[in-house]
Structure 1
């Protein structure tokens, strides 16, 4: 698909308290609460050392190997925004590095999710700014365009719309559309409580495992004696 050259208005900011509430939930619970969907592929992994990511998406589609629109997105970002970049998955050129992330942090950007490469990985790993990317290369980007800001993008096999809430932790990144956020939040909290009860049963030796054989038998598994 051809890449346009345009910048659209940013999505409205999320309701007060929504980002903070979602930031307390594990990415695993948030994807499970959405029918195990909206998880970005594991190939896009954390490049930072620790620290959670949560905030509304400011989306960017770039020409592979070009970061002109990423620079503009940083200037447009509101404090707390997560810059989500569809760079075509190419690892030929880095989309961001030490200078870009240093400046983005002064702008209040919450982090980056990039379907592409970064460079200056040691500096990024040591900075208090979450960065998820597909890989690393020393080769820098062009700054020519074209590209788009605030349009739907596909990152790691998942469609991300401007304003979607991006949640990242050590396991990876999950996308939560604002329209589904309250339901996903309630379901994630329920899953967390359910897992807490299961852990208590494991610790006390009272966990019932009969469901496994029942599930195998119901699906026609043959038990050879």
Structure 2
């Protein structure tokens, strides 16, 4: 991208953002033999991070995505879900994704699985996950929000910023674009 073209939320490229901000964190493309795939209709999304840690229980994911997903500037946030990399059940499906859209969220990153992928592919939201499986999670009202989570060489906290495109996932303590 030429230097005369200002990057924004619609035209950013993570490669260019990282070149200009080398201190940013980069998610590894392969985590213990697993890699992130795009499942939503938006391949490119970014926003302020909200973290949730849950293992095979999407109670907190559902509750968060059913709440206001806008930051103080009216931009959509990104829910980053540490599902422990579990491939045994999905932490996000089409109904919860629709709730996220309805509440203004920009996207969801799941260190785990999703389901209803044909529907997700048609939905106006960014979704990155390790894989898909038809089994839904069990809801036990477990999980924690707004705490530090780590996976793929990333260490993330709520209030940080994440940028996702087909090149990968990068994160920063500060916003990298306007």
- Which TM-score applies when normalising by structure 1? 0.65
Moved more, 156-165 or 129-138: 156-165
Counterparts of residues 149-188 of structure 1 (less than 5 Å):
149-178=145-174, 181=175
| Alignment-derived partner of residue 72 in structure 1 | 63
How much is the aligned-residue C-alpha RMSD, in angstroms?
A: 2.1
2:18 alignment partner, SS class = helix
Say whether the 8 Å CA contact 1:58–1:77 is kept in structure 2: no
Unaligned runs of 5+ in 2: 1-6, 30-34, 71-75
1:95 positional shift: 0.2
Work out the CA distance in 1 between the residues paired with 2:139 and 2:27: 27
Would you say 1:46 and 2:16 are equivalent positions?
no
Q: Deviations over 1:95-114 (max 9, x none)?
A: 00111101111011111001
Say whether the 8 Å CA contact 1:119–1:136 is kept in structure 2: yes
| Alignment-derived partner of residue 195 in structure 1 | none
Would you say 1:28 and 2:15 are equivalent positions?
yes
1:60 counterpart (27, 39, 52): 52
- Which TM-score applies when normalising by structure 2? 0.81
Say whether the 8 Å CA contact 1:85–1:115 is kept in structure 2: yes
Unaligned runs of 5+ in 1: 1-19, 186-225
1:155 positional shift: 3.5
Aligned length: 162
Which structure: greater helix fraction? 1
Say whether the 8 Å CA contact 2:89–2:137 is kept in structure 1: yes
Distance 1:49 1:36, change over 3 A: farther
Q: Which runs of 4+ in 1 moved over 4 A?
A: none
1:45 positional shift: 2.2
Distance 1:38 1:22, change over 3 A: farther
